[in-house]
Structure 1
Amino acid sequence: MAPTVFKSEFAVNMTCSSCADSVRSTLSGIDGIDKIDIQLPEKRVMVEGAVPPSTIFRALKATGLATVLRGQGSTGSANIGAAVCIFETFQGAKGWAQFNNKGLARLQQVDEQTCLIDVAVDGLQEGHWTAAVHTLGDISKGIESTGPEFAELGSFEVGPSGRGDLVAETSKLKVWDVIGRSIVLSHQPTSGTRIPLIAGIIARSAGIFENAKRVCSCSGRTLWEETTPF
């Protein structure tokens, strides 16, 4: 079986030609990348090759430039499945929902075996956080009504800015298995158990490159642009 060829689009906060040169130099050193297209005025980087988006994402972040995954596709992945989860904040693990849009989680089934996970959230407490799919899509009683954990998505660190992001691939779940369930974000202190604080319901979505719906008429951003911090 031929390897999956990923086609990924990133928003990278490049401000000058030196930034663009740094991005190109970093990506050119990664084996498996076939094509790099950098558009400085639009702060856009397109990458094509047999390299998972999470690997490219980490490499771009290592340059020190703010980076967001804006879109992703792959060979044979057209309309295979996509989902989105908009988070709500809760007052403690047993609290009732108080809506406060902190960010999004996006899931894209890039091939039959691989699900791409992209979480971007602002306004979080500094420290270690985890993301997991829970069995139920019921947030009527806050986190406690989302049921037991269904699948762990990964962990990420939040710095002083309060922004956290997670880009990863997993073969442990499929998009069509998690529609209608929930994603819960938990803060985990250095010593102590996880404190679930943020959750949202997973809904079916168009593909990342296909969704042109506006989240808010104020910003004019589409669903897949909403997490871009610049």
Structure 2
Amino acid sequence: MLPTAEPPFDPIFADEPLLIPNYKETIISTVGLPFYADITRPDEVPADERERTIDLAERILRAGGVRTGFGHHEEVRTSMEAWAPNADEECDADSGYWRSHVLLMSPQEMNFGQLDGEPEVRYKKAKTVLAWARECIDSDVLQEIERSQAEDIKQAWYDAAEAELSQREIEQFAEDPPEALDGWTKLDADYDAVTVAYVADNHGTPSVAAVFEG
């Protein structure tokens, strides 16, 4: 039984969490591994809420075109620069907060959706992008982008779990080759260079597969 847990990420634009509690363990057990299997986090999966926020902001910047209504990074910059002063009026703690972070972003960052800088700087830029997007991009589009992020995270874990399962099967086969496997029967090759061999019937013709010592 899986341990109880909170949803891994709070929704930003979606109405409810897009990743269920223990989603990683559920995926791991679905492919046939114990849910507690130690699998290295894929590079595509954000390590924490901050990385997830940065990734979502970059996805929004990369979306562009018809989806967001901004076909060019200069349109994005123009929109952000127009939005920031009004948003700053509601930011009592720092009246120039949003504008300062908009100005920190280069056209290249906006065009290619790759926020530069130290983690804290990237996070502040990402929060700026999300605040702007909430006001200037249709909510349905933002929810779609966030759902896509969640699906990509799940797929990355699924691929990693599948790869781990395959590796374990290979290691198990090397350690203890089974007597039969998918229609193939273990064969005593009686040859020192052959680690293991199997024979199968291929439409009446015997076929042999062998693993040789490296």
TM-score if structure 2 supplies the norm length?
0.25
Q: Between Structure 1 and Structure 2, which shows a larger proportion of helix residues?
A: 2
Which has the higher Rg, Structure 1 or Structure 2?
2
